[in-house]
Amino acid sequence: MAQNLTREFLPATRKEMRARGWDFVDVVLVTGDAYIDHPSFGIALIGRLLEHHGYRVAILSQPRYDSTESFHVFGKPRLFWGITAGNLDSIVSNYTGNGRVREQDSYSKDGNPYFGSKKIKTERRRPDRAVTRYANLARAAYKNVPVVLGGLEASLRRFVHFDYQQNRLRGSALADAKADILVYGMGEKAVLEIARRISTGKSLNEIPGTCIRLSDREKNDFERKQPLVLPSWQEIREDKKKFLQAELILDKQARSSGKQIILQKQQGIWVAQYPPQPPLNSVELDKLYSLPFVRGVHPGSGRVPAWNMIRHSITIVRGCSGNCSFCAISRHQGPVVTSRSRESILAETRKVTGMADFKGTISDLGGPTANLYGVTCAKDSCRRHDCLYDHVCPHLRIDESVFVCLLKEVSAVPGVKHVYVSSGLRMELLLKTPKLLAELLNHHTPGVMKIAPEHTESHVLRLMHKQKPEVLPRFLEYCRKLTRKKGKKIIFNPYIISAHPGCTERDMKLLAQKMKKLGLTVKQLQDFTPTPGTLSTAMFVSGLDRDTLEPIFIPKGGGERRRQRKAMEEKKPFKHRKRPVK
């Protein structure tokens, strides 16, 4: 029988605030997404965490940004504004990798990215560079209320970065927004500390996991702390090589959890980054996911496509040590992998089975890289945290029985009929865990297994910081051998990136031929998008190899990108067909 999971949403309207008997709130969290109270959404995680610690929190979801009117809904926040663009960078949300305006927004009501109807369009629900726009409106609405930036957009735009929609380098979002402080990475600990300090009248300086603005005089005071100074805005504008150098430094510092303060001169000020917060451990992660989420869409948000994708999914792991060049997960979530306990995951499974619309299928038991669940490092002092390139690190402790047992236990929860793992899976790691791979293929793959080889050519894979070329054919051969024994057929859905730095039209033709030879049909082909905070973007801007700093070919312009896509699409991979019965 379905349980009654009715809980209160965090106030998203003045009426809801009044219904709680509040005449003020401590924190207003502003987001470019529709409000969904589910732990897959950062705004819900932070909101529930602050609430758990006794703060009054309200959610301002997709406010109008043609005036300050929306920012007056809850009155003046007692402590601070928390500003985020939402689960995605606003430029990624609003534009394709080729700069075309998206006509679908999975995080908005009915998937409609406009405040008007689909036929009568007004302005978009989510402004470009949303954290800056929202921060300016918040300050205009109520002066002297601290403005805190956070979430993916702020985190990856905290230093000089490339904006592909404008096709130019931009300074730090913290400088553009003139905010008081920026939280980078997964910000639970930093946000709690900010709330505590503001409520007790203390300085926001020296909070791990944050960035602040400095004047030249204040920067001089930091010299005694022996900071690490990145190339400045002006130096990078004059020499794009220094943009790659800055990103390489940030990448190394992020993976090593470097203890140095990092400084970068912007156009008029300095940005100072304090060392990161330690990642949440398993106990802390369990507590976070046990908070009283409604697990639903706020009534004022209507039907939101993203909700359909995650409503019956469960996050089991945070962080990724894969460190792919084109991916920002390691930079944002961190390279340290934290797994939730089986007890916590089973408790959430029981909550999911109690949802009125649950039909028996857990759509995803995963995370950034699902089969990193239960993996730990034998070398506590490791500062490299690059566990999968160009081979699986020997210090990586892999116990496949941990994930296998979890899958079986979740499957045994009353009401659960199917448990699927739809998140990313690393092939080189699966080859080292044959029992887990067999379990996934036989019981937890809905007929199609998503794999992400990204490419087949060795020099492109090296630039992507991905597995060696021989991994894909070995993986497919092994999987097909396993499934043949069981009389089961699995279709593999490979994700491929075209027009990545260093990739040529010839490389795409070779890739197409190899996909055909391997019997793979490519349905997920994506042009490389130079998003902020990745080494691939730094290569795109600088035109240099991430490892050798030598010039490489950079596919730029719509013509070159179309040719690479066409080279892939022209080579139609063959499909296996059953022989006619004689």
CATH code (residue 390):
3.30.750
Residues 162 and 102 in one domain: yes
- DSSP SS3 for 527: strand
Q: Which of 253, 273, 293 corresponds to the end of one domain?
A: 273
Residues 61 and 158 in one domain: yes
Q: How many domains is the chain partitioned into structurally?
A: 3
Please tell me the predicted confidence (pLDDT) of residue 568.
81
The residue segments making up the domain with residue 347 are 312-421
Residues 533 and 454 in one domain: yes
Whether residue 237 is contained in a domain is answered as no
Which residues are CB-neighbours of 151 under 8 A, at least 6 positions away? 31, 42, 43, 83, 84, 85, 86, 87, 131, 187
DSSP states along 554-582:
---SHHHHHHHHHHHHHS------PPPP-
Whether residue 241 is contained in a domain is answered as no
Which residues are CB-neighbours of 153 under 8 A, at least 6 positions away? 84, 85, 86, 88, 89, 90, 129, 130, 131, 173
How far, in Å, CA of 441 to CA of 444, rounded? 6
Q: Are the C-beta atoms of residues 225 and 313 closer than 8 Å to each other?
A: no
Neighbours of 361 (CB within 10 A): 14
Residues 71 and 179 in one domain: yes
Q: Which of 353, 387, 421 corresponds to the end of one domain?
A: 421
Residues 384 and 511 in one domain: no
Highest mean pLDDT among 222-226, 254-258, 336-340, 446-450: 336-340
> Residue 527: which CATH number?
3.30.750.200
- DSSP SS3 for 177: helix
Residues 525 and 414 in one domain: no
Residues 32 and 146 in one domain: yes
Give long-range contacts, CB 8 A cutoff, 24+ apart: 545-550. 545/463, 545/502, 546/244, 546/248, 546/325, 546/463, 546/465, 547/462, 547/463, 549/241, 549/244
Tell me phi and psi for residue 236, to 5 degrees. Answer: -70, -40
Q: Stretch 434-439: mean pLDDT, rounded?
A: 96
Whether residue 264 is contained in a domain is answered as no
Structure pTM?
Answer: 0.94
Whether residue 226 is contained in a domain is answered as no
Q: What angle do CA 245, 249, 251 make, to 5 degrees?
A: 115
Give the pLDDT confidence of 44-69 residue by residue, as tens digits: 999 999 999 999 999 999 999 999 99
Q: Are the C-beta atoms of residues 375 and 396 closer than 8 Å to each other?
A: yes
Whether residue 472 is contained in a domain is answered as yes
DSSP H helices in 200-231: 216-221
Give the pLDDT confidence of 163-186 residue by residue, as tens digits: 999 999 999 999 999 999 999 999
Whether residue 257 is contained in a domain is answered as no
Assess whether pLDDT exceeds 70 at residue 581.
no
How far, in Å, CA of 29 to CA of 97, rounded? 29
Assess whether pLDDT exceeds 60 at residue 575.
no
How far, in Å, CA of 488 to CA of 478, rounded? 14
Residues 455 and 395 in one domain: no
Whether residue 489 is contained in a domain is answered as yes
Residues 496 and 546 in one domain: yes
Strands 262-265 and 270-273: antiparallel
Q: Are the C-beta atoms of residues 472 and 456 closer than 8 Å to each other?
A: yes
Residues 417 and 466 in one domain: no
The residue that leads in pLDDT, 206 or 485, is: 206
Whether residue 176 is contained in a domain is answered as yes
